[in-house]
Chains A and B, each alone.
Chain A
């Protein structure tokens, strides 16, 4: 199905539609602009209908869990997460590449916040309301928003980038809607390539939005592009002033090829996070919170701890830490609900061990097995993906070597959970920030969402607008 200008059309109309899309978009962009208030009012009204239970039947199958937060960025964070597998996931169907939209091990649409509560549909309700959207706009674009800034000879205004092509993977339900919403808030025309696994949720939601506010309709086009339709995607990319991709390196690389020069690329890729332990304020509580985070997120989120780095040099110190920390991890693992809940941990951990054996990478490592979890001491300083599902890596990384080690992972750093004495926190936070980390939290808050926070070091809305200077 296709959503074009508020109308649902069969796929058979796609070629024809794309052929005339440029003219349609030009008409839209010549006419009345879409202002943020129109979008906010429409989303807020839809949110009220959502909260009244009107769409429960539609949504229920898609949202077993939703992030427990009242801030949109939680969803943003949970949505970029994943594919931490190291086997990158391909969103685009380029020839000669199999199209795997969803291939992170143990990948699930579950998102957990730092406080450890998995959440439900009702938590979505707080996200689609006026206050949240206004907060986001102000936090990211500043108080002036789309007003004029006057300089001596010119005035400067923020305008939409123009036309955005969004390519979203199917690993989180609702992500295509979220990314489209960001495009709409900034007044852009949005072309959305729907993921294969979408199963109608995004089309239904976007179509409801255009019915709620018909002025939004000309700014929204959503396509089900099947495998192998690279040409059509290329045609869409040609129309776009900017391409927004969510996904792994393969997806990003494929889109870079499609988007011509002059087309701005906005890439929300996969990230790695870690904990840095340089002492404690409250040892038991902090270790217990870190263990809770590792088990609850299962290593599946971009913000999940993959490696626990210790501000230490000697292997014995690391092994001592493993012996101390393992019971905390086991205690958290024991709280997993359900029959056989430890099985993914055991299977992932064992599979990862076999992989290291056949790759000849077991030299110098030491495995501490727990019930439904494990700690693996490795004698290097690299930030890398853990075996996930409650199997986490432990490495020595003295603070003098921190920056050098993290720089080797530039472009994929995200959160550092910092455990240290209070007096060291400012200096260590500063060091981590300079090394390229974009979020620094406490032990339990690695995957928590904070109001007003950036996404992977950027305010997304700022990337979807441009500044226009006009001489007086």
Chain B
């Protein structure tokens, strides 16, 4: 599937109209591949009267059978034998059911230029070595969650000097240790090298709040960054106004707003969404987003609120060409942002009440909540 590589090696990441033809071609090839290699997917397409040739214009993308993430949580679909996959990744960290998604080598080959390209454009890449503090899970061979791997991967945008984790495996289960994190941050203050704090926004919020309560203030070296991954979306109850979080970050860690990167993605749709300077997630050329009517699943016009449908021809091991999240959100035309990027941006409003769906960040938040209850946090 060269069409996929052609799409992911494109140089202009936010030129959607310019990439439409390449995107449609890659989607057609991807759908044809899954139909040929995954009998279950072929049955779904047949039942819903879909054939790859129907994809001729951007409007046709809505015709691709959309598979809810709920489906992947109940049933694993693969389009190649396991030995041909690079890895298998799961969506959930600690509890609940999770999706099992296969990653093929071609997918990894395609992701690399996307991540490097966007990493440069969003100032993530730096030749200067940095200490990494990860407000997330320490990788372990028993942990197959996408977010763990993503956070580990994110430590490589600059040469990593050290890694400190907030969630460590103790006797087979993850235990939060924000105390060590706070101590490490204090120590890193005197380091000549910058620090990168990578993690769940909710952990940053709890951690900073606690540090402020204790009167702990840290001035990290110039060039230090915060990289937030793994979901605001799971956290409506405590979702903080982002501005308050940025102000707190500056106050407690001395890291200014422009050095905060926010990322968005899903195991079923591992596209590297980066927030722009105005904190908007513009859709990059590697994916498309449709918003669908919550009552009928029909596509809605731009601006209307509905279920978020993510489309990308990235994956060949699992048919995730068009997946439906259980998030409610809406798209805004790129011009309204003011950052100069023309592609529309996604705003996520909340998650619909499907408690079947447990996410990594929700699981992590659960751990944190338990620890707080026992007075172990800090």
Does A360 reach chain B (CB closer than 8 Å)?
Answer: yes
**Contact of A346 with B356 in the complex, beta carbons under 8 Å:** no
Given contacts A340-B306, A343-B326, A357-B47, whether A351 and B68 have CB atoms under 8 Å apart is yes
Q: In the complex the two chains form, is A344's CB within 8 Å of B354's CB?
A: yes
Do B353 and A344 touch (CB < 8 A)?
Answer: yes
Please name all residues of chain B whose beta carbon is closer than 8 Å to the beta carbon of A100 when the two chains form the complex: 95-97
Residues 325-355 of B, flagged 1 when their CB comes within 8 A of A and 0 if not, give: 0101000000000000000000001101111
Contact B307 A346 (CB under 8 A): yes
**Contact, CB under 8 Å: A369 / B296:** yes
Which one of A102, A108, A351, A358 lies within 8 Å of B353 (CB-CB)?
Answer: A108
Within 8 Å CB of B352, what residues of A? 340, 343-344, 347
Are B353's CB and A106's CB within 8 A? yes
Whether, in the assembled complex, B67 has its beta carbon less than 8 Å from a beta carbon of chain A, the answer is: yes
A340 contacts B294, C-beta separation under 8 Å = yes
Alpha-carbon distance A214/B173, docked complex (angstroms): 37
Chain A residues with CB under 8 Å of B326's CB are 343-344, 347
B40 within 8 A of A: yes
Minimal beta-carbon separation of A382 from chain B (angstroms):
20
Supposing A100-B97, A350-B68, A371-B295 touch, asked if A108 and B355 sit within 8 A by C-beta, the answer is yes
Contact A358 to B95, CB < 8 A, known contacts A339-B305, A351-B70: no
B43 sits at the interface (CB 8 A): yes
Per-position binary interface string of chain A over residues 324-361, scored 1 when its CB falls under 8 Å from any chain B CB and 0 otherwise: 00000000010000011111111110110011011010
Please report the C-alpha to C-alpha distance between residue A102 and residue B295 in the assembled complex, in whole angstroms.
26
| Complex CA–CA separation, A340 to B324 (angstroms) | 14
Q: Which residues of A contact B128 (CB under 8 A)?
A: none
Any A CB within 8 A of the CB of B297:
yes
State whether A104 and B295 are in contact (beta carbons under 8 Å apart), knowing that A340-B328, A355-B74 are contacts in the complex. no
For chain A, give the interface size range. Answer: 35 or more
**Known contacts A105-B354, A107-B355; is-contact A371 B68 (Cβ 8 Å):** no
The answer to whether A199 and B373 touch (CB under 8 A), given A106-B356, A339-B305, is yes
Q: Give the interface centre of B74, B97, B355 by most chain A CB atoms within 10 Å.
A: B355
Closest Cβ of chain B to A263, distance in Å, is 30
Is A103 part of the contact surface with B, judged by Cβ < 8 Å? yes
A212 within 8 A of B: no
Contacts of A369 in B (CB 8 A): 296
B44 contacts chain A at the CB level, 8 A cutoff = yes
Question: Which chain B residue lies CB-closest to A346?
Answer: B297
B40 x A358 contact (CB < 8 A): yes
Give the complex CA separation of A362 and B356 in angstroms: 24
- Judged by a CB distance under 8 angstroms, whether B71 is at the interface is yes
0/1 per residue, A199-225, Cβ < 8 Å to B?
110000000000000000000000000
Taken together as a complex, chains A and B put the C-alpha atoms of A87 and B356 apart, in Å, by: 11
With A358-B40, A358-B43 known as contacts, the answer to whether A102 contacts B70 (CB < 8 A) is no
Query: Are B294 and A103 in touch, CB under 8 angstroms?
Result: no
A183 on the B face (CB < 8 A): no
Cα–Cα, bound, A108→B67 (Å): 23
* Contact between A343 and B356, CB atoms less than 8 A apart: no
Q: Which residues of A contact B222 (CB under 8 A)?
A: none
Given the complex, which residues of B lie within 8 Å of A347, measured CB to CB?
Answer: 68, 70, 307, 324, 326, 352, 354
Q: Does A372 contact B (CB under 8 A)?
A: yes
Tell me whether B75 is interfacial, beta carbon within 8 Å: yes
Q: Provide the bound-state CA to CA distance between A351 and B71, in Å.
A: 5
Residues of B within 8 A of A342 (CB): 294-295
Chain A residue contacts of B65, Cβ below 8 A: 354
Smallest distance from the beta carbon of A206 to chain B beta carbons, Å? Answer: 17
Q: Which of A108, A227, A339, A348 contacts B70 (CB 8 A)?
A: A348
Q: What's the tally of chain B residues with a CB closer than 8 Å to chain A? A: 35
Across the interface, which residues of A come within 8 angstroms of B353, CB to CB?
A: 106, 108, 344
The residue of chain A having its C-beta at the shortest distance from the C-beta of B370 within the complex is A199
Known: A100-B97, A347-B307, A358-B44. A341 touches B294 (CB 8 A): yes
User: Chain B residue with minimal CB distance to A298?
Assistant: B353
CB contacts (< 8 Å) of A360 on chain B: these are 43
Decide if A351 touches B74 in the complex (CB within 8 Å): yes
Residues of A within 8 A of B350 (CB): 339-340
Q: How far is the CA of A100 from the CA of B297 in the complex (A)?
A: 30
Supposing A343-B307, A347-B352 touch, asked if A354 and B67 sit within 8 A by C-beta, the answer is yes
Chain B residue, CB-CB nearest to A389: B354
Contacts of B68 on A, CB cut-off 8 Å?
347, 350-351, 354
Q: Which residues of B contact A346 (CB under 8 A)?
A: 294-297, 307
When C-beta atoms are compared, the residue in chain A nearest to B173 turns out to be A227
Please give the distance in Å from A368's CB to the nearest CB on chain B: 13
By beta carbon, the residue of chain B nearest A99 is: B95
CB proximity to B under 8 Å, residues A89-122: 100, 102-108
Q: How far is the CB of B41 from chain A (nearest CB, A)?
A: 8
> Separation in Å of the A9 CB from the closest CB of chain B?
14
A contact residues around B95 at 8 Å (CB): 100
A346-B297, A355-B71 as given contacts; A104 in contact with B356, CB under 8 Å:
yes
* Across-interface contacts of B307 in A (CB, < 8 A): 340, 343, 346-347
Chain B nearest CB from A54 CB (Å) reads 22
Q: How far is the CB of A81 from chain B (nearest CB, A)?
A: 14
CA distance A348 to B70 in the complex (A): 8
How far, in Å, is A97 (CB) from chain B's closest CB? 14
Instruction: Give complex CA distance A357, B352 in Å.
Output: 25
- Measured in the bound complex, the distance between the Cα atoms of B352 and A371 in whole Å is 16
Measured CA separation A358–B45 after assembly (Å): 10
Interface string of B290-304 (1 = CB under 8 A from A): 000011110000000
Known contacts A347-B352, A358-B75, A340 near B305 by CB under 8 Å: yes
A336 nearest in chain B by CB position = B295
What residue of chain B has the Cβ atom nearest to residue A199's Cβ?
B373
Contact mask for chain B residues 55-73; partner A; CB cutoff 8 A; 1 contact, 0 none: 0000000000111101100
Could you say which residues of chain A place their CB within 8 Å of the CB of B356?
85, 103-107
Which residues of chain B from 51 to 106 have a CB within 8 Å of any chain A CB?
65-68, 70-71, 74-75, 77, 95-97
Report yes or no: A343 in contact with B294, Cβ–Cβ below 8 A.
Answer: yes
* Distance in angstroms between the alpha carbons of A339 and B352 in the assembled complex: 9
For window 356-386 of A, CB contacts with B under 8 Å fall at: 357-358, 360, 362, 369, 371-372
- Which chain B residues border A371 with CB–CB below 8 Å? 295-296
Distance A71 CA – B310 CA, assembled complex (angstroms): 47
14 further interface pairs, Cβ-Cβ under 8 Å (given A340-B305, A369-B296): A100-B95, A103-B97, A106-B354, A106-B355, A108-B355, A199-B373, A227-B173, A340-B306, A340-B307, A344-B352, A347-B70, A357-B47, A358-B44, A372-B294
A residues sitting closer than 8 Å to B (CB atoms) are 85, 87, 100, 102-108, 199-200, 227, 333, 339-348, 350-351, 354-355, 357-358, 360, 362, 369, 371-372
Q: Which residues of B contact A (CB under 8 A)?
A: 40, 43-44, 47, 65-68, 70-71, 74-75, 77, 95-97, 173, 294-297, 305-307, 324, 326, 328, 349-350, 352-356, 373
Give me 30 A-to-B residue pairs in the complex whose CB atoms sit less than 8 angstroms apart, sorted by A's number.
A85-B356, A104-B356, A106-B353, A107-B355, A200-B373, A340-B305, A340-B350, A340-B352, A341-B294, A343-B295, A343-B307, A343-B354, A344-B326, A345-B295, A346-B294, A347-B68, A347-B307, A350-B68, A354-B67, A354-B68, A354-B71, A355-B74, A357-B40, A357-B44, A357-B47, A358-B40, A358-B43, A358-B75, A371-B295, A371-B296
Query: 5 closest A-B pairs (Cβ-Cβ)?
Result: A342-B295, A343-B294, A343-B352, A358-B40, A340-B294
